[in-house]
Amino acid sequence: EGEGPFPMIAFHHAAHHPADIYDHYTSLHRHWASHGFIVASVDSSSNVIGVPQSWQNISDMSTFQLAAADMMLAESADPDSDLHGAVDPDLVFVSGHSRGGGASLISLWARPSLMGAICFEQVSPRLAQLAQGGTAVGTGINAPAAFPRLFCRNLSARTGMTLSPAPCFFTALSSQDTA
C-alpha cells in the first residue's frame, strides 16, 4: 500500500524437484511485501527440473532473474501500465535460494547498479573452484607451483568473487557439467 515508488526484489527459486518449487516461497514473498517491497518471483522450472546443474544452468537462472527485474522496471516506467511509478529503479535487489542464490550473485556481478543480493543457503561451492593450473590442459605441468593460487587471487580481486584452485584439476575439468 502507499504511493510508491517501492524497492523491488527479483527472486529465483532453487534448482530441484518438484516442479512447483516456486510455490513454497509465498510466505517469504508476502513477508517482504508487508515491509514495502515489490517481489518478482521467477519460475524457470523448465530450466532446472531434470537439467544437469552446470555453469550454463546457473547463468541461465541469472538471465531469467535479470529479465524479471527488467520487465518490472519497464512496466513501472510505462505511463499506461497499472504499475506506473511503482518500482524505485535505484532500489532493485536480487535474491534466491541455493542455486537461485548463486544466480543472484552472478546477477549482482553482471549488473553493478543493483543494490545487493540476498542469498539463502549454499550454492555449489565447486563452481568457485577453478581448474586453472597452467599448461597441459590445466594440469599444472610446467607451470610454477604458485600459479593456480596467484591466478585465483588476481581473478578474485578483479571480479569480487571468492575463487580458489580446484583440489584436483583433472576432476574439476571433467566434472563441470555436474557442478
Which range has the worst mean pLDDT, 2-6, 28-32, 114-118, 159-163? 159-163
| Residue 156 to residue 161: CA distance in whole angstroms | 5
Q: Dihedral through CA 66, CA 68, CA 69, CA 73, nearest 10?
A: 140
What is the pLDDT averaged over residues 92-107? 89
- Among positive and negative, which fits the CA dihedral 36, 14, 46, 127? positive
Q: Rounded mean pLDDT of the chain?
A: 80
Q: Alpha helix (H) ranges present in 18-54?
A: 26-34, 45-48
pLDDT digits (tens, 9 = 90+) for 141-160: 667 778 888 888 888 787 66
pLDDT band, residue 50 (cuts 50/70/90): low
pLDDT, greater one: 51 or 36: 36
pTM to 2 decimal places: 0.66
